[in-house]
Amino acid sequence: MNVTELSETELKNLKDSLLFQKSSILNKSHEFKAEQSSISSVADEAEVASLDISNNISIHLHERDRTALYAIEKALGKIADGTYGQCESCGEVIGARRLQARPFTALCIECMEEQENHSNLFQ
């Protein structure tokens, strides 16, 4: 049994959403790899600088997608083993509204805010 306050239909919809997001990220990853392999030589410095900036942005977005893909895989695993919706920090149930807004979240609102406040102290 899942620890969430979601109905079976809501849980299925969230699972479908996670699978769609996963598919979308994997498709973008394929496009990113194709883009990286098709970079050709350029003639002037302005083109080189523009291409470099574009490449850095693409790499940053690709890394962000990889992080999201990991969280999605983790959430799908939790759905499979019946622990989806349980906060990894305090063990409490994550609210249905939070899960619907961010289906691959691992923390309840309170623990997320605490983590953000803690990380802001060191910045």
In a domain, 62, yes or no: yes
Chain centroid to Cα 64, Å, comes to: 7
Q: What's the predicted TM-score (pTM) here?
A: 0.74
pLDDT tier, 30 (very low <50, low <70, confident <90, very high otherwise)? confident
Neighbours of 87 (CB within 10 A): 20
DSSP per-residue codes, 14-41:
HHHHHHHHHHHHHHHHHHHHHHHHT---
CATH of the domain at 96: 1.20.120.910
Overall number of domains in the chain: 1
In a domain, 2, yes or no: no
pLDDT tier, 61 (very low <50, low <70, confident <90, very high otherwise)? confident
Alpha helical stretches, state H, the chain = 8-37, 45-81, 96-101, 109-121
In a domain, 95, yes or no: yes
In a domain, 3, yes or no: no
Q: Does residue 57 register a pLDDT over 90?
A: no
- Residues in a beta bridge with 93: 86
What pLDDT is recorded for position 23? Answer: 92
